Amino acid sequence: MKITTQMVDYISQLSRLSLPEEEKQTMTAQLERIVDYMDVLNQLDTMGIEPMSHVFPVKNVLREDVVEPSFDRADLLANAPVPDEEAFLTPKSVE
Amino acid sequence: MTWETVIGLETHVELATRTKIFCSCTTAFGGDPNTHCCPVCTGMPGALPVLNKAVLEYAVKAGLALNCQITRYSKFDRKNYFYPDLPKAYQISQLYLPLCRNGKVPIHTQTGNKTIRIHEIHMEEDAGKLVHDPWIDQTRADYNRCGVPLIEIVTEPDFRTADQVIAYLEKLKETLQYLGVSDCKMQEGSLRCDVNLSVRPMGSTEFGTRTEMKNLSSFKAIARAIHYEAKRQIELLEEGKRVVQETRRWDENKDATFAMRSKENAQDYRYFPEPDIPPIELSEEYLDSLRAAQPELAEEKRARYQTQYGLPAYDCRMITSDRVLAGFFEGLVELGTPAKQAANWIMGEVLGALSVKGMEPKDMRLTPGTLSRLIVLVAEGKLNRNTAVKVFEAVFNDDGDVDQYVKDHGLEQVSDAGLVEEAVARVLAANPQSAADFKGGKEKAFGFLVGQTMRELKGKADPKLVNALLRKALSQEG
Amino acid sequence: MELRALTALELGAAIQKGEVSVAEATQAALDAIGEQDGTLNSFITVTGERALERAERLQKGVKDAASPLYGVPMALKDNICTKGVKTSCASKILGDFKPPYDATVVEKLAAAGAVSLGKLNMDEFAMGSTSETSYYGPTRNPWDLDRAPGGSSGGAAAAVAAGLGWYAIGSDTGGSIRQPAAYCGITGMKPTYGTVSRYGLIAYASSLDQMGPLCRDAADCAAVLDVLQGRDRRDSTSLEGDYGHLLASLTGDMRGMRIGIPSECFADGLDDEVRRSVLAVADVLKRRGAQLVELSFPVMEYVVPTYYIIAAAEASSNLSRFDGVKYGWRAEGYEDLTDLYHRTRTQGFGLEVKRRILLGTFVLSAGYYDAYYKKALQVKAVIKNAFDQAFTCCDMLLTPVSPTTAPRIGESLSDPLNMYLGDIYTVSVNLAGLPGLSMPCGFDSKGLPIGAQLIGPHFGEGRLLNAAHAFQRDTDYHKRTPKGGKRA
């Protein structure tokens, strides 16, 4: 599988990462080697095999609809990089 | 050329559970920013989701009421995108195995009946609220709504007119309210509707390019937006231009839709199965128990009220406009109140009082027992209708004791003929001119004398009795 | 008494008998950290004052001790949330993040009377095999300071091996407890998926992550797991049931136990000295009554790609929340929201983390999902099935932990694919959700520890620990201490 810099640009954009040009070149080459190696999986016929997302057959793990106290707002906001008493702050995010 | 409008809806409905979908924070509307939050719903590192049992139950109920197939083996998936209202940067939703599929909703419009097909219903979490503060030029993220449970109801592109859309939405709202799974308040955002719309030459079987409209805050706005957008697309096509597939925002003030800032890339949400939540497997017994517990819905009630109680269609519509109101009506009837009288009181006094106080039926404290007692007192001639209305107003707020109130305020109707006769005699003696006028043929004078007598009796007399005794006295005088 | 020569259980017993106070033990550990950790760099945060305060408080309750580990000082990998104590995942992007809550395991350890000395160094977000990707600098291997302690729980392994604490809690997504335990000559265990709550573990790959103990011997591991295990209502993937009282079940009796030796795990690519030492484990256990079964495990070539596809995919999603808005570090000089995201994430994550985020984004992106991610989930089912097959003819598997002993610092990161291939013996255990144990089984000619891995079926912790316990009765590899550690 060929990995192009365009593909790396695309997935970088999706991941909100901006690699410097040199890093991008190295990364493209490394990803290509890794993905090439992963193509070994194509040797295995998996027709009709159900993809396994959960390894245990656990199901219906449910919680009762009972309110528990929320956290202290100050504790939740304490780690915000821009301090504010009420909310998390971001640059303009609404149109 | 004539054009056909093709519309499909994606409706998000907030479920009326007590707690959020994946944590035990309250779903109560309002609250100071970020006070209904915990590590789970603010996306703190290391926190994990646990599904609320009631969310599953409500979503299945909605699916059953909308005639869907319930998926026996269902899963959650992650939808990945960056935005500050989504603190984990992924929304837990359902893509691959949604909870309900292939539903049907019959609707009625003036142009006839139609069935709208439901493509799917899935469960997901709501996002937070962003408010821009121009003073500091920063956007504030409030996560109180974050994690409130939603179902998204996706229809097939089956609508052709705005009327059909509104009829469907009204039906949907009524059904979900009756089920008790949502309060469907558009103004609080608990029912939100995105409209996918395209146009095509009449008779064509291919779909045109569609746009998606957002920010529709009322049924009226939806109808106006549909008219606007269909016209805009038709004009474009007639000018030989093409419709661009995009998301458009309805601007209520400008009465127009505008393209939203185009996303830098086509959306690629990278859905994959949510590893933190095991799958849902529903048993036949579970579904049966929910089927058995499904309440009678508005349409069934309307039909039944017409046949069982012979109520006019208008009355049936009014009474069933709200589940609590219909329950109130049934309570009255059960206590022996004649159906028509119960309907009249509900349509008149009850709805009037609710509207004056800006209340909703579910917030009403008045019980059917209290109102039925009041109606009995009128029927037994112990209260006249006008006094009864006053009593109603007095007991409405706190579901007060009718008999106690009547007693405390001395409102029992005077039905002692002797007392009324004495009052009539006093009135005639005081108003000889009016009596003479009546005998001279002025019917109007009779009304005056009735009024005077009622006043003499402080309004507590049975008007029929006053009438009869006054006529008798006047004829005897002659 | 040379406290640092004791195991956690021996120290716990001494505390019970009043031979040593909790504070004395805590002070001894803090002294050792002060002396040695400037070189080893196994801790990111040392909470000395807190630890001593807690030691004083715990001393009052010694009589009512809830666990044989009561009062024993230990430490936590820095991806486990501790309320009010910096939890960094060894990443710049988390800054001075102090979680508003404790992980479930932290609560359980506190209830058992543990004294936490602080937070341990690791590969950034547990992504790496050498602990060199830490923003806080590499940890050194106490057996050879020029070498890596392994990863990603390298700080945990180095600290326990050097005697800076009596045990540590690490996390294992693809071998991150077992491999550093092997490189540092200690015993570590990755439990059955779902038996230890993940609530409060900062996720790398949610379907594979599991926390577990790094200890001086198997008995200590059993005692720690007795504290950690159990269903947690805050973790939907945590399982009902448990593996019983592990410590009490250590008999050393191996009679009737069938030990499977998968030929593919001893084929080319494995260092000769490692092969010899690991196979010697079989002989020791055989002498104790075990039966050896040669078998084939035909999926070895698929395990690494399957693991890296799934782990990277989940990581790309799990790490999206680090964006400079809610917690942690925020870049400067941004122009708008998107720029804030890009700058914070580009500057806040290290290279290996970015590599895995990009890889994970790729395998989930439109057009590649079926070919990579879905395919990997299918192969995962095949791998799980291969283990099920293997466990029909044996009770546990014996394999190496790693193809080599500890590498020199600086020689792994330049070739990521090669580094990934080094995980070949450990990752399949996570894919199948199985318990895996790593224990010291010898030393190579350079004097570096060699680890052997025992793999069991779901809930097979007891038999693995019992086998390790049996082995440790007849050998003394686990008792040897590194010069760099000056433990004894």
Digit-coded pLDDT (tens) for B261-270: 655 445 899 9
Total residues found in chain C within this entry:
488
Helix C300-318 to helix A21-38 angle (10° resolution) is: 140
Dist CA B454 CA B462 (whole Å)? 9
Largest distance between two CA atoms of chain B: 98
* Residue B190 CB partners (closer than 8 Å, separation 6+): B13, B14, B16, B29, B182, B183, B184
Q: Is residue C152 reached through a cis peptide bond, with omega within 30 degrees of 0 on the bond before it? A: yes
Cβ distance of B278 and A92 shorter than 8 Å: no
Position of tokens 């006295």? B473
C153 among known catalytic residues: no
Q: pLDDT tens across B300-326, in order? A: 999 999 999 999 999 999 999 899 999
What pairing do the DSSP bridges indicate for beta strands B247-251 and B256-259?
A: antiparallel
Q: B209 burial class (0-12, 13-18, 19+ CB within 10 angstroms)?
A: middle
Stretches in chain C below the pLDDT threshold 50 = 487-488
Phi, psi of B332 (to 5 degrees): -60, -50
Question: Which residues from C are below 8 Å from B87, CB to CB?
Answer: 321, 325-326
Dist CA A46 CA C364 (whole Å)? 19
Cβ distance of A16 and C375 shorter than 8 Å: no
Q: Which two structure tokens, joined as six digits, stand for B353?
A: 């009082």
Q: Which of B249-253, B376-380, B398-402, C74-78 is the most confident on average? A: C74-78
Instruction: Select from C120, C146, C128, C136 the least CA-distant residue to C45.
Output: C120
pTM for this predicted structure: 0.91
Looking at C295-406, list the stretches that DSSP marks H as alpha helix, in order from N- to C-terminal side.
300-318, 337-348, 351-364, 375-393
Cβ distance of C369 and B272 shorter than 8 Å: yes
Q: Are C97 and C328 in contact (CB under 8 A)?
A: yes
* Residue B173 CB partners (closer than 8 Å, separation 6+): B184, B191
Which pLDDT score, from 0 to 100, does residue C486 have? 53
ipTM over 0.95: yes
- Closest Cα in chain A to C97: A79
Dist CA C123 CA C129 (whole Å)? 7
pLDDT reading at B84 higher than 80? yes
Q: Are C242 and C351 in contact (CB under 8 A)?
A: no
Dist CA C329 CA C95 (whole Å)? 5
Q: Are B118 and B155 in contact (CB under 8 A)?
A: yes
Dist CA B422 CA B446 (whole Å)? 17
Q: Are C281 and C451 in contact (CB under 8 A)?
A: no
Helix C154-161 to helix C22-40 angle (10° resolution) is: 120
Angle (CA) B301 B167 B319, round 5°: 30
Q: Which two structure tokens, joined as six digits, stand for B295?
A: 């309440």
Q: Are C143 and C238 in contact (CB under 8 A)?
A: no
Angle (CA) A89 A91 A93, round 5°: 95
Question: Which residues from C are below 8 Å from B268, CB to CB?
Answer: 365-366
Q: How many CA atoms lie within 13 A of B140 on its CB side?
A: 17
Angle (CA) B343 B347 B352, round 5°: 145
Which pLDDT score, from 0 to 100, does residue B261 have? 66
Q: Quick one: CA dihedral C479, C481, C487, C488, positive or negative?
A: positive
Cα–Cα distance list, C161 to B144, C44, C188 (Å)? 47, 17, 11
Total residues found in chain B within this entry:
478
Query: Which of A61, A73, A90 faces B141 most closely, judged by CB atoms?
Result: A90
Per-residue pLDDT 10s for chain A (95 aa) are 899 999 999 999 999 999 999 999 999 999 999 999 999 999 999 999 999 999 999 999 999 999 999 999 999 999 999 989 999 999 998 86
Q: Are C452 and C438 in contact (CB under 8 A)?
A: yes
| Separation of CA A29 from chain center | 22
Q: Are C149 and C107 in contact (CB under 8 A)?
A: no
Cβ distance of B279 and A54 shorter than 8 Å: yes
* Chains in touch with C (≥3 Cβ pairs < 8 A): A, B
Residue B104 pairs in a beta bridge with B117
Cβ distance of C203 and B90 shorter than 8 Å: no
Strands (E), B202-356: 211-214, 247-251, 256-259, 272-273, 280-281
C483 among known catalytic residues: no
Which pLDDT score, from 0 to 100, does residue B392 have? 93
Cβ distance of A86 and B33 shorter than 8 Å: yes
Q: Quick one: CA dihedral C379, C381, C384, C390, positive or negative?
A: negative
Q: Does B20 touch chain A (CB under 8 A)?
A: no
DSSP secondary structure letters along C90-150: T-GGGTT---SS--HHHHHHHHTT-EEEEEE--SGGG--SSS-S-TT----BTTBTTB---
What helix, strand, coil percent values describe chain C, rounded to 5? 45, 15, 45
Cβ distance of A11 and C194 shorter than 8 Å: no
List domains and CATH numbers for chain B: 3-284 (no CATH), 296-408 (no CATH), 417-477 (1.10.10.410)
Q: How far is B401 from chain A (nearest CA, A)?
A: 35
Which pLDDT score, from 0 to 100, does residue B459 have? 79
Q: How far is A21 from chain C (nearest CA, A)?
A: 13
Interface of B with C (CB under 8 A): 39, 42-51, 78, 80, 82, 84, 87-90, 139, 141, 264, 268, 270-273, 275-278
Q: How far is A38 from chain C (nearest CA, A)?
A: 5
Q: Does A11 touch chain B (CB under 8 A)?
A: no
Q: Are C146 and C408 in contact (CB under 8 A)?
A: yes
Which pLDDT score, from 0 to 100, does residue B262 have? 56
The residue of B22, B48, B91 whose CB has the most chain C CBs within 10 angstroms, and thus the best one to mutate to test that interface, is B48
Q: pLDDT tens across C67-105, in order? A: 999 999 999 999 999 999 999 999 999 999 999 999 999
Dist CA C479 CA C488 (whole Å)? 10
CB atoms within 10 A of CB C107: 16
DSSP secondary structure letters along C316-329: HHHGGG-SSSSSS-
Cα–Cα distance list, B218 to B188, B222, B224, C221 (Å)? 11, 6, 10, 62
- Closest Cα in chain C to A46: C378
Cα–Cα distance list, C134 to A32, C120, C154 (Å)? 25, 11, 10
Question: Which residues from B are below 8 Å from C206, CB to CB?
Answer: 275-276
Phi, psi of B432 (to 5 degrees): -60, -35
Give the type of residue at C242.
D
Residue B80 pairs in a beta bridge with B90
What pairing do the DSSP bridges indicate for beta strands C167-172 and C210-215?
A: antiparallel
Dist CA B82 CA B434 (whole Å)? 85
Architecture of domain C3-255+458-479: Alpha-Beta Complex (3.90)
Dist CA B340 CA C273 (whole Å)? 96
- Sorted by where each begins, the domain ranges of chain C are 3-255+458-479
Cβ distance of A80 and C327 shorter than 8 Å: yes
Q: Running DSSP on this structure, what letter comes out for residue B42? A: T
Cα–Cα distance list, C256 to C288, C293, C463 (Å)? 10, 12, 12
Position of tokens 């316990």? C469
CB atoms within 10 A of CB C270: 18
Q: Are B193 and B225 in contact (CB under 8 A)?
A: no
Q: How far is B324 from chain A (nearest CA, A)?
A: 23
DSSP secondary structure letters along B193-232: EEEEEEEEETT--S----EEEE---SHHHHHHHHHHHHHH
Mean of the per-residue pLDDT values for chain B?
A: 92
List domains and CATH numbers for chain A: 5-43 (1.10.20)
Q: Are C314 and A53 in contact (CB under 8 A)?
A: no
C176 among known catalytic residues: yes
Give the type of residue at C210.
Q
Catalytically annotated residue among C91, C129, C152, C277? C152
Dist CA B145 CA B28 (whole Å)? 9
Query: Which of A11, A58, A78 faces C239 most closely, judged by CB atoms?
Result: A58
Phi, psi of C88 (to 5 degrees): -110, -15
Catalytically annotated residue among C129, C176, C316, C428? C176
- Closest Cα in chain A to B141: A88
Q: pLDDT tens across C300-352, in order? A: 999 999 999 999 999 999 999 999 999 999 999 999 999 999 999 999 999 99
Q: How far is C359 from chain A (nearest CA, A)?
A: 7
Q: Does B32 touch chain A (CB under 8 A)?
A: yes
Q: How far is C325 from chain A (nearest CA, A)?
A: 6
Instruction: Select from C125, C222, C161 the least CA-distant residue to C36.
Output: C161
Cβ distance of B138 and A82 shorter than 8 Å: yes
Q: How far is A52 from chain B (nearest CA, A)?
A: 10
| Separation of CA B433 from chain center | 57
Which pLDDT score, from 0 to 100, does residue B379 have? 84
Query: Which of C97, C361, C432 faces A15 most closely, judged by CB atoms?
Result: C361
Q: Does B131 touch chain A (CB under 8 A)?
A: yes
Which pLDDT score, from 0 to 100, does residue B264 have? 41
Give the type of residue at B287.
L
Q: Does A63 touch chain B (CB under 8 A)?
A: yes
Dist CA C324 CA C136 (whole Å)? 19
Dist CA B253 CA B132 (whole Å)? 20
Dist CA B230 CA B222 (whole Å)? 12
